[in-house]
Amino acid sequence: QVQLVQSGAEVKKPGASVKVSCKTSGYTFTDYFIHWVRQAPGQGLEWMGWINPNNGGTSYAQKFQGRVTMTRDTSISTAYMELNRLTFDDTAVYYCARPDCSSTSCRNWFDPWGQGTLVTVSS
Amino acid sequence: DIVMTQSPDSLAVSLGEGATIYCKSSQSVLYTSNNKNYLAWYQQKPGQPPKLLIYWASIRASGVPDRFSGSGSGTDFTLTISSLQAEDVALYYCQQYYSSPYTFGQGTKLEIK
């Protein structure tokens, strides 16, 4: 079955960077984009951007432009999200999620999701 | 950006009764060329990731019980649970995938009365 398994929780200091991984299985990694969505404690869902594992192309929400980098390693079917210059407001659970894609396009509802990675920014 | 607004923020319903959650988008998410509404609904339980319930505004995802149904078009949408079960206690979110950035409603908390 399709699975997205994320790396473990992280604690970082303000100004540091964090890199979260999302290891996929059960499907051809390069056939589906990977999106990243975050959820601050007790808050709603915030879309961050996507990566096309086939060619490494990316698109980021304007809020995160210049601070986020999404990459992938096709040899191990894993996507990564790196967020720089962390602030306390970046404390959140970060999710990777897969849209519904055909050979020509994607419909950007998300199923399945990774289990989430808690990133805590604390001094 | 398309702003998604859900109502109510929280809802308490008796077991076996129906529940309705509303979602309004700041602009239409109906793509006229294919007559599809680019609107999804998710359920999120504590400590879990969101789970897809509905896409194209009214199509149930695989394995979703038929007591869940979605309706609406353009800017106004509803998620209806026909007969509330204890396991339906959760947060519910709508999401538009009409245009980037793909935005979510603020969530509706569904509880048992």
Given a cut of 90, whether residue A105 has pLDDT beyond it is no
**Pairing between strand A58-60 and A45-51?**
antiparallel
Contact criterion met (CB < 8 Å) for A59 and B100: yes
The predicted pLDDT at position A106 comes to 86
Q: What is the CA radius of gyration of chain A?
A: 14
Categorize the per-residue pLDDT at B83 as very low, low, confident or very high, splitting at 50, 70 and 90: very high
Q: Which residues of A touch B61 (CB under 8 A)?
A: 111
Instruction: Give all strands (DSSP E) within chain A, no chain letters.
Output: 3-6, 10-12, 18-25, 34-39, 45-51, 58-60, 68-73, 78-83, 92-97, 100-101, 106-107, 117-121
Contact criterion met (CB < 8 Å) for A109 and B103: no
| Distance in angstroms (rounded) separating the CA atoms of residues B57 and B77 | 7
Q: Does A101 touch chain B (CB under 8 A)?
A: no
| Distance in angstroms (rounded) separating the CA atoms of residues A14 and A21 | 20
The predicted pLDDT at position B51 comes to 98
Q: Which residue of B has its CA nearest to A116?
A: B49
| Distance in angstroms (rounded) separating the CA atoms of residues B60 and B57 | 9
Percent of chain B with pLDDT over 90: 100
Contact criterion met (CB < 8 Å) for B49 and A114: yes
Q: Which position has the token pair 């060329």?
A: B33
Contact criterion met (CB < 8 Å) for A45 and B104: yes
